[in-house]
Amino acid sequence: MARTILMLGTRKGAFLLESDADRRDWKLRGPYCEGWPVYHVVRDAVTGAIYAAAASEWHGSAVWRTTDLGETWTHSSEGLAYDESSDKKMSKVSTLAARNGRVLVGVEMPGIFTSTNGGDTFSLLSTLEGQPGSEMWDDPESQPPGHLGISGFILDDEDDARFWAVVQGIGMFETADGGSSWTPRNRGLRADWPREHEEVGFCVHKPVRSLADPQRMYQQNHVGMHRSDDGGHSWTEITEGLPTEFGFAAAAHPHDRETFYVIPLDPQHSRTMPDGHASVWRTRDAGSSWQRLDNGLPKSEAYVGVLRQGMVADTYDTPGVYFGTSTGQVFASNDEGDSWNEIANYLPPISSVDVAIID
């Protein structure tokens, strides 16, 4: 029977939650990575290796790796630093993507490092030098809170040379040549603030790509939900019907290009679920209408937040959806979000949730 593995990044290490294909009973393992703050945990679906981006206050940033589902871990930061002659300095590793032995590491100050040997060593791939906005995005005074630098990736399963990277507070960029050249992909997005450049200045929180249709993308933005039907070349806002325009997390249904999940949050200081009513919202018609999903979630006094890497969907025929909160709960649905169960609690603040099915 298939194993279902949830990978959690938390402020105090990485954890794994394991179940079977039914996804009803879960067993927690961890903490891993010596309790370092872990920003993102992902799995390379081809090699099976799990990677964790971690940044210790004492010992700096590193990428941890396990190839035996958490039994043993190693870490490396060899090459994971800007050159000593550079004006750039790395404060943290923020985000990861991994496929077929290649690991992409997004860091602050904004830059992308890569490993082509499964995380043994790293080298600088790109700082997106020359892109609009790059003249100021190294300055912490110009950065959004969190100082993530590169805050997200989308890979192309068919073409390793093509991927998308998000610069926090600036926007999304696409490369088709492995990071040598880049194109801003933010046309049609909304910004409620003055911008110095036509093509950037957008606060892209979480873009996701449909597995059912590679041209279909969704994104939770600082201001609004948006959809693209042309691989990110243009965007259309689909916020109407949601309780707020703000949120971080987003997930796409693996089999239906029209179905997508978001967790709207209070856009003011609290950035928790509105009115303390925990809810995931789902569209089944590409954003024309939205449905509140709260069966099994706390409907009052649940002032919880979910960060940008904090929600994911699995790829079973009837997909599961999962999210982890800033107050250490993990909620799971094994029926596309129709019902939910709390499967872990009392964890450290959760920064990321990813899922893998292992046959």
Partner 1 sequence: MADLHLPTTLLPLFAGLPRRLDVDAATVGEAIDKLNEQWPGLRDRLCEPGPLLRPHINVYVDRTRGDLSSPLDDRSRVDVIAAISGG
Positions touching partner 1 (CB under 8 A) are 34, 56-60, 62, 75-78, 81-84, 89
Side chain identity at 150, as an amino acid letter?
I
Nearer to partner 1, 103 or 189 (CB): 103
Backbone angles phi, psi at 275, to 5 degrees: 60, 20
In the complex, least distance from residue 56 CB atom to partner 1, rounded to whole angstroms:
8
For residues 262 and 268, give the distance between their C-alpha atoms in angstroms, rounded to a whole number: 18
Q: How far is the CB of 145 from partner 1 (least distance, A)?
A: 17
Task: Specify the residue, 84 or 141, whose C-beta has the smaller distance to partner 1.
Answer: 84
Q: What are phi and psi of 83, to 5 degrees?
A: -60, 145
Nearest to partner 1 of 12, 162 (CB atom)? 12
Beta carbons of 247 and 237 less than 8 angstroms apart: no
Which strands, in side-by-side order, build the sheet including 171-175? Answer: 150-155, 163-167, 171-175, 183-184
Q: Which is nearer to partner 1, 77 or 94 (CB)?
A: 77
The nearest distance, CB 320 to partner 1, in angstroms, is: 34
Distance, in Å, from the CA atom of 79 to the CA atom of 92, rounded to the nearest integer, reads 14
CB of 31 to partner 1, least distance (A): 12
The string of DSSP codes covering 65-132 is EESSTTSS-EEE-TT-S--TTSS----EEEEEEEETTEEEEEEETTEEEEESSTTS--EEEE--TTST
What's the closest the beta carbon of residue 26 comes to partner 1, in angstroms?
27
Q: Please report how close the Cβ of residue 76 comes to partner 1 at its closest, in angstroms.
A: 6
Identify residue 117 by its one-letter amino acid code: N
Distance, in Å, from the CA atom of 176 to the CA atom of 115, rounded to the nearest integer, reads 18
85 vs 300 by CB, closer to partner 1: 85
Other C-beta atoms closer than 10 Å to the C-beta of 96 total 27
User: In the complex, what is the shortest distance from the CB of residue 62 to partner 1, in angstroms, rounded to a whole number?
Assistant: 7
DSSP 347: P
Quick one: 75 or 195, whose CB is closer to partner 1? 75
Secondary structure class of 267 (helix, strand, coil): coil
- In terms of CB distance, is 34 or 275 closer to partner 1? 34
Helices (H) and strands (E) in the chain, counts: 0, 28
CB of 60 or CB of 296, closer to partner 1:
60
Nearer to partner 1, 79 or 215 (CB): 79
Q: How far is the CB of 314 from partner 1 (least distance, A)?
A: 32
Instruction: Tell me how far, at minimum, the Cβ of 77 lies from partner 1, in Å.
Output: 5
Cα gap 142→138, rounded to integer Å: 8
Q: Which of 232, 226, 276 is nearest to 246 (CA)?
A: 226
